[in-house]
Amino acid sequence: MIDLRSDTVTLPTPEMRKAMYEAEVGDDVFGEDPTVNRLQELAAEKMGKEAALFVASGTMGNLVSILTHCGRGDEVILGDWSHTFLYEVGGIAALGGVHPRPVRNQPDGTMALEDIEAAIRPENIHFPRTRLICLENTHNRCGGAVLTPEYTSQVAQLARRYGLKVHLDGARIFNAAIALGVDVKELVKDVDSVMFCLSKGLSAPVGSMVCGSKEFISEARRIRKMVGGGMRQVGVLAAAGIVALTKMVDRLVEDHENARRLAEGLAELPGIKIDPEKVKTNIVIFEFNHPKMTPQEFTERLKEEGVLMLPIEGKRIRAVTHYGITAEDIDKALAIMRRVLGAMS
C-alpha cells in the first residue's frame, strides 16, 4: 500500500527502535528522565530558545502554549484555515476558555498584516482582551505553504506594538527551513513560543516539542500536567526524538522532491487541477473535477488499487510524501491514477 494520506503514518527507523530499547529513563514529572532532558536541551538549542518541553502531540503542544500565553476570556488571533482553529477539537475554548478570533488565510498561508491589526481588540469593557497571535509554518491547509522569516518578523513587530505575544505552530517547521534553505532558528527567532513535531516528516512514533523562554516553559510544564501530559518514564519515546532531530532533518529534501514529482505528474492527468510550481514542501493538494467521479469515489478506487489519499473539503484531495515513500512509489501511484481515470473516460 502506497500511503499518501499524511506524513503521520511514518514508521520509526531501525535506529530509533534501537535507541528506544536502550533508553535510560527516569520520572519526567520530577524532571529526572535523562533522555527527556537531553531531548529538551537539543530542541531548545535547535530553535535558539532558552528551554523546551516534551509533549505527547502537536495538538497538546499548541494547547499548552496557548493556555500558557492566555487566560480565560482572553482572545487569540489565528488563521481561519489554521490547524488549531479547524482540527484541534476547539480545545483552547473548551478547556481554556480562550476565544478564537479567526482571520482569513491567504493562499500562501499568511494572514494579511492589515487584517491582523484590524482584529486586535481596543480596550473596551464589552470585548475580550487580545493576547496572542498564532501563525502556522508550514501551512497544512494551504498546501504546505512556507512562511518566510521576513513575514514572521513583520507579524512579531506588529504584535510588539500592541503588547501581544506570538506563538508558532511549527509542526513541520523543518520542512520550511529545508525549502527556504535557511537555519530553522531564522524562522522562529522572532516568536515567543514554537511547537514542532518529532513525528510526521521526522519519523518519530510519538511526540512534539514546545520551545520558548525559561519562564514560559516553566509555566507550560504546569499546564502540561494540568491537561494530563505528565508521562513519567517517557525517555523510551524521547530517545526516538533525539534520533529524529539528529538524523532525519536533512533527508526531508527527498520528500519535497517526491512531492514535486507527484505534482508534475498530476498536472498531466485529466480532470485534475494543480500548479506544480506552488508545491514547496511535502504536501500536495489538488482539485479533482472529473465529470463521472467524485473525489470520494476516486480515492476509494485508488484504495482498491493500493494507493491511499485523503479527500478534504469540496473537490480537493491531499497527498503527503514522507519517509518510506520513494520516487518509484510516486511513479507507481501516478500509473494507477492514469489507469483509474482511463477506465472512466
| Same domain as 256, residue 213 | no
Number of Cβ within a 10 Å radius of residue 296: 11
Q: What is the pLDDT of residues 109-135, one digit of tens each?
A: 999 999 999 999 999 999 999 999 999
Q: What is the pLDDT of residues 37-69, one digit of tens each?
A: 999 999 999 999 999 999 999 999 999 999 999
- Considering 212, 247, 282, which residue would you say is the last residue of a domain? 247
| Same domain as 194, residue 322 | no
Distance CA 71, CA 321 (A): 38
| Same domain as 147, residue 25 | yes
Q: CATH no. for residue 68?
A: 3.40.640.10
Asked whether 311 and 295 are in contact (CB, 8 A), the reply is yes
Q: What is the pLDDT of residues 254-270, one digit of tens each?
A: 999 999 999 999 999 99
Segment 75-85 mean pLDDT:
98
Residue 1 lies in a domain: no
Asked whether 230 and 66 are in contact (CB, 8 A), the reply is no
- Considering 197, 223, 247, which residue would you say is the last residue of a domain? 247
- What value does the mean pLDDT of the chain take? 97
| Same domain as 295, residue 279 | yes
**What string of DSSP letters covers 27-66?**
-GGGT--HHHHHHHHHHHHHHT-SEEEEES-HHHHHHHHH
Beta bridge partners of 105: 111
Residue 146 lies in a domain: yes
| Same domain as 177, residue 164 | yes
Residue 106 lies in a domain: yes
pLDDT at 313: 86
| Same domain as 290, residue 217 | no
Q: What is the pLDDT of residues 244-254, one digit of tens each?
A: 999 999 999 99
Distance CA 162, CA 201 (A): 35
Q: CATH no. for residue 320?
A: 3.90.1150.10
| Same domain as 125, residue 186 | yes
| Same domain as 290, residue 179 | no
Cell of residue 276, nine digits: 506544480
Range of the domain at 213: 12-247
Residue 302 lies in a domain: yes
Asked whether 72 and 94 are in contact (CB, 8 A), the reply is no
For 90-190, strand residue ranges (E) read 99-103, 130-136, 165-169
| Same domain as 145, residue 216 | yes
Segment 69-84 mean pLDDT:
98
Residue 159 lies in a domain: yes
For the chain, strand residue ranges (E) read 2-3, 51-55, 75-79, 99-103, 130-136, 165-169, 193-197, 208-212, 272-273, 283-288, 307-308, 310-311, 316-320
Residue 7 lies in a domain: no
Q: What is the pLDDT of residues 186-232, one digit of tens each?
A: 999 999 999 999 999 999 999 999 999 999 999 999 999 999 999 99
| Same domain as 231, residue 122 | yes
Confidence band (pLDDT; 50, 70, 90) for 345? low
Segment 18-31 mean pLDDT:
97
Residue 3 lies in a domain: no
- Considering 216, 247, 278, which residue would you say is the last residue of a domain? 247
| Same domain as 152, residue 281 | no
| Same domain as 263, residue 193 | no
Total of domains in the chain: 2
pLDDT at 292: 86
With H, G, I as helix, E, B as strand and everything else as coil, classify residue 325. Answer: coil
Cα 311 → chain centroid: 18
Segment 291-299 mean pLDDT:
92
With H, G, I as helix, E, B as strand and everything else as coil, classify residue 178. Answer: helix
Phi-psi region of 76 (alpha: psi -120 to 50; beta: other; left: phi over 0): beta
